[in-house]
Amino acid sequence: MTRRDLRLREHLLIGLALLGLGALVGRLVYIKSFDGTRLAAKADRQQRADIPIKARRGLILDARGRIISATTLRTSVFADPQVLPDTQVAAETVARILDLDPAEIAPDLLAAGDRRFFVIKRGITEEQAEQIRDAGIYGLGTFSEPFRSYPMEELAAATIGFVSPDGTGISGIEHQCDHWLRGENGVKTIVRDARRKAFWLAEEGYRPARDGYHVVLTIDAEIQTAVENELAAGVARYNAESGVAVVIHPHTGAVLAMANYPGFDPNNYTDFGEERYRNRVITDPYEPGSTFKPFIAAAALAEKVVNMDEVFDCEHGSWTEGARTLKDHHPYDFLTFQEILIKSSNIGMGKLGLRLGNRNLYEYVRRCGFGEQTGIGLEGESEGLLRPLVRWNAFSTTSLPMGQEIGVTPIQLARSFCIFANGGRLITPYVIRAIVDAEGRVVQDMTPPEHDSEPVYPPDVLDQMRQILCSVVNDSPSRSAQLPSHQVFGKTGTAQIARKDGRGYEKKAYVSSFVAGVPAENPELVAFVAIRRPDASVGYYGGQVAAPVVREILRHTLAYLRIPGDIAPNADRATAMTEDYND
């Protein structure tokens, strides 16, 4: 062994250690290069958590920006059952603060099992929330979340709809416009310690939520309120089952009010039966009865199968045509064409039907928009019931002119009546006017496109019809639809309710309705009211049950919209015929 050998050994030994360090440099580079991405991602998974930032749901606003559907913050108390040191103590504390029964909370907490987040109670007051936080129980906390509320409660509830507890629209416009209202949730990526406690916001870990857009309606809460109040009063007065009402601007098709009675409170929608959720104005067709007659009468004028002063034999109230016997409520012998409408003679209408023929009848009914959706842009709209021409039978020719054998929805009827108010155009009604963002910029204009359609009836026919319909209002003995300042034109209807088995009609079961426009010279409003199953012992004629409701609705609305009157005070508007006023 020489000194040189010893030195070699030193070099080898220290070289060995240096080699080891060199190998570890390689090991580090290896970890980074070959496994680094996977390991770093794994580290991120344990260190980071994405916390959603809930977008605020957009508002639903009325035509003047009043909030119908709002989003507010609601505080709730939750528990993490896994980390609660003592379930019983926690339950008792929460129960004491919220004035609940601890025996109801504790089992729920125990049953929550391995869930990390259990909501004990939603909607607590700020003071209660503070007391819970002050109690300082680990695993017990409060949180705030956006919450849908309807400050106007029942207002237009069936149209507006409601949201589920998790904030998804499940009915009405809330459902239909959910994709607009919902917005886009943001996300907050937090860095947390091993005990899941967040302490940093990750780099680029914040994407703000985009709040939902607001939906602006054509409905005016003021008019809607008046309509709902009057409808409720009308239904109550005649002890009826239900009622619907709709108010339209006849030139644009903007729906100013749309009401269903009885309604419901979307804040507590589970307290009401599901049948209340339906917007019957658009979903439920019914046999319109006499309110349907003007469309056929106008067709007869347009087709020149009749002239204004022609006299019809109304067969003293009973007329057998083929296998069918038509009856009038009151027997009439001879009526002019105008009187047929004013007295609402079924026999007269049946004779008009025969003159027009099935093809013409069908043609005009279609041109008035029956048997198809109005395109109002709301979900669940019915197209009504109109048999195709090939399935018409011998009865159809005389049934249809008096509003039988056809099912129409209230919106269809109101829309078609606009034809007499706007110069013959068939408008598309709409309720959703625009989608706007938080700054009020219009994101999407929902106004239906205007198209110049051929007038359904020629102008002279329309003028004649409006004149006749004014007489309907003015010549009734009760004058229940007359307004002192504005000339109303309209038509009553008292339809019997068809039996469910399809064999004829129920006894003493009616839908009393009234459709009207105002003011006659330059119509600005069309309103329709139908009241279902009024108590026949109190009254059931459309002019008696529905017409006063329409009158009050129009009175409120005209005043609210400051539509100038077209009648000089104390003018005598009654024409010759004032004997009786029937359907």
Enumerate binding residues for another protein (CB under 8 A). Answer: 1-7, 9-11, 13-15, 17-18, 20-25, 27-29, 31-32, 35-36, 38-40, 42-44, 46-47, 191-195, 197, 199-200
CA dihedral 274→277→280→281, nearest 10 degrees, is 180
d(CA 341, CA 343): 5
Nearest-approach distance from CB 33 to another protein, in angstroms: 9
Burial of 375 (0-12, 13-18, 19+ CB in 10 A): middle
Nearer to another protein, 1 or 73 (CB): 1
Nearer to another protein, 11 or 133 (CB): 11
Strands (E), 211-254: 214-217, 242-248
Phi, psi angles (nearest 5°) of residue 198: -75, 140
Phi, psi angles (nearest 5°) of residue 541: -65, 140
Query: 301, 305, 285, 256: which is closest to 464 by C-alpha?
Result: 301
Nearer to another protein, 193 or 310 (CB): 193
Query: 456, 158, 400, 420: which is closest to 288 by C-alpha?
Result: 400
Nearer to another protein, 53 or 202 (CB): 202
Nearest-approach distance from CB 89 to another protein, in angstroms: 25
Nearest-approach distance from CB 109 to another protein, in angstroms: 26
Nearest-approach distance from CB 139 to another protein, in angstroms: 17
Nearer to another protein, 47 or 168 (CB): 47
Q: Which helix (H) or strand (E) holds 436?
A: strand 432-436
For residue 21 the two structure tokens come to 């360090």
Nearest-approach distance from CB 167 to another protein, in angstroms: 33
- The rounded Cα 453 to chain-centroid distance in angstroms is 27
Nearest-approach distance from CB 141 to another protein, in angstroms: 17
Query: 112, 167, 169, 173: which is closest to 145 by C-alpha?
Result: 167
Nearer to another protein, 43 or 110 (CB): 43
d(CA 547, CA 555): 12
d(CA 288, CA 512): 9
Nearest-approach distance from CB 36 to another protein, in angstroms: 5
d(CA 54, CA 69): 18
Q: How many CB atoms lie within 10 A of CB 66?
A: 18
d(CA 247, CA 256): 5
Nearer to another protein, 25 or 568 (CB): 25
Nearest-approach distance from CB 188 to another protein, in angstroms: 16
Nearer to another protein, 195 or 451 (CB): 195
Nearest-approach distance from CB 133 to another protein, in angstroms: 19
Number of H helices, E strands in the chain: 18, 21
Nearest-approach distance from CB 24 to another protein, in angstroms: 5
Nearer to another protein, 13 or 442 (CB): 13
Nearer to another protein, 5 or 166 (CB): 5
Nearest-approach distance from CB 208 to another protein, in angstroms: 24
Residue at token pair 């991602």: 41
Strands (E), 473-533: 489-498, 505-518, 525-532
Nearest-approach distance from CB 108 to another protein, in angstroms: 30
Nearer to another protein, 25 or 571 (CB): 25
Give the residue ranges of DSSP H helices in 136-212: 157-160, 172-176, 178-181
Nearer to another protein, 43 or 311 (CB): 43
- Please report how the helices 293-302 and 346-367 are oriented relative to each other, as an axis angle in degrees rounded to 10: 80
The secondary structure of residue 334, as a DSSP letter, is: E
526 contacts 414 by C-beta, under 8 angstroms: yes
Query: 411, 159, 157: which is closest to 263 by C-alpha?
Result: 157
Strands (E), 80-195: 118-124, 140-149, 186-192
